Amino acid sequence: MHASFVIALVTLVAVSCFSTTHGADVTITATEITSDTTWRAINTYYLNSQLFIKNNAKLTIQAGTTIKAAYDDGAGKAPSIIVTQGAKIDAM
């Protein structure tokens, strides 16, 4: 069994200094990403729990995307992105 690669979002916050348009505030309620997904720079994403990328899916995070995370999920686990074997994350 291979260990999952964990990226703590608490340290992954990218802010675009040149964006004048504000998109949506997106609260991530899913616990899994199982198909290719893109988080766009125009939106702000709020992570409240652990999010697993599975099934060879890829999460693309555009340059300038703002990601904010809660201190914990209420059960003592840090909100984070966990990339399982075969899955990918592409933070541009």
How far apart are the C-alpha atoms of 60 and 38, rounded to whole Å?
A: 5
Place of tokens 């309620």: 29
Domain that holds residue 81: 5-86
> What SS3 state is found at 53?
strand
pLDDT exceeds 70 at position 71? yes
- Does 91 map to a domain? no
- Buried b / exposed e along 30-60 (16+ C-beta atoms within 10 A): eeebeeeeebebebbbbbebbbbbbeebebe
60 part of a folded domain: yes
Summarised one tens digit per residue, pLDDT across range 2-34 is 433 333 332 233 333 334 456 899 998 889 999
Q: How many domains does the chain have?
A: 1
Q: What is the pLDDT of residues 46-57, one digit of tens each?
A: 999 999 999 999
Query: If you average pLDDT over residues 62-80, what whole number do you get?
Result: 93
Instruction: Tell me the pTM.
Output: 0.72
Whether 92 is covered by a domain: the verdict is no
